């Protein structure tokens, strides 16, 4: 994973009023913590930061008053309606330091004809160097037949990464498409019956 370089400015104001003014000035409030040091409150450029955090577990190289800081994005708070970033929590890291992160699982390929796959685990937890974090973990389902399973232990991890999720955890399940469809139809039938029963009860 490459570092995203951003210029940060130390802030001394806090509260909703300040946060609103910062966003109007195209800045995002953030806090940097870790290694037992006092938190550093900063603002980041909104456009560049929004692009940077699209990458899972983004690593930011921050220039704070001429001093460099490496920080890992730990939490991004967004407006529930507008989806704009309201605040970011950053974790200070060092070159070579090991950190624990949740990495998204990316499914590639198509299962055998007449089958479907279900992603049971969307992320897995791994330990890796902060400067070499995997963005995603790809798993191929090409040609997989019904009844096959892919477990966490089957995932190919980058060199230096260690799986923390239970090795036997089910990641992808392959099943027969007709079974899945019948299950869906049964569920829909049950919902319809429940709806009719509710209407009859209301009528009485």
pTM equals: 0.70
Nearest alpha carbon to residue 8 among 155, 82, 80, 22: 22
- Both structure tokens of 108: 């590639």
Determine the pLDDT at residue 79.
79
**Burial readout 97-133 (b: 16 or more C-beta within 10 A, e: otherwise):** eebebebebebeeebeeebebeeebeebebebbbbeb
Quote the CATH superfamily of domain 4-93. Ribosomal Protein L25; Chain P (2.40.240.10)
Quote the CATH superfamily of domain 100-195. Ribosomal protein L25, C-terminal domain (2.170.120.20)
Give the CA angle between residues 106, 111, 113 to the nearest 5°.
155
Which sign, positive or negative, has the C-alpha torsion 164, 170, 174, 180?
negative
At which residue do the structure tokens 């990641």 appear?
Answer: 171
Q: Tell me if 31 sits within 8 A of 41, measured CB to CB.
A: yes
Determine the pLDDT at residue 193.
52
Rounded to whole angstroms, how far apart are CA atoms 58 and 52? 7
Per-residue pLDDT of the chain (204 residues; tens, 9 = 90+): 557 888 888 887 777 777 777 777 888 899 999 888 888 899 899 888 888 888 888 899 998 888 888 999 988 888 788 778 888 999 999 888 899 999 999 999 999 999 999 999 999 999 999 888 888 999 999 999 999 999 999 999 988 899 999 999 999 999 998 755 555 555 555 555 555 545 554 444
Determine the pLDDT at residue 202.
46
Domain residue extents for the chain: 4-93, 100-195
């Amino acid at each position: 994973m490459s570092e995203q370089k951003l210029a940060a400015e130390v802030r001394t104001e806090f509260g909703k009023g300040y946060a609103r003014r910062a966003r109007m000035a195209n800045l995002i409030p953030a806090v940097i913590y870790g290694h037992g040091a006092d938190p550093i409150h900063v603002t980041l450029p909104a456009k560049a930061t929004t692009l940077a955090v699209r990458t899972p577990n983004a690593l930011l190289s921050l220039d704070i008053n001429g001093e460099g800081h490496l920080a890992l994005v730990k939490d991004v708070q967004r407006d529930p309606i507008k989806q704009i970033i309201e605040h970011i929590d950053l974790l200070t890291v060092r070159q070579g330091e090991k950190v624990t992160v949740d990495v998204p699982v990316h499914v590639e390929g198509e299962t055998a004809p007449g089958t479907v796959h279900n992603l049971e685990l969307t992320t897995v937890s791994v330990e890796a160097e902060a400067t070499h974090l995997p963005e995603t973990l790809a798993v191929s389902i090409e040609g997989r037949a019904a009844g096959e399973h892919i477990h966490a232990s089957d995932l190919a991890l980058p060199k230096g990464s260690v799986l923390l999720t239970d090795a036997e955890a089910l990641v992808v399940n392959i099943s027969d498409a007709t079974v899945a469809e019948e299950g869906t139809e049964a569920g829909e039938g049950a919902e319809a019956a429940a709806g009719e029963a509710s209407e009859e009860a209301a009528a009485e």
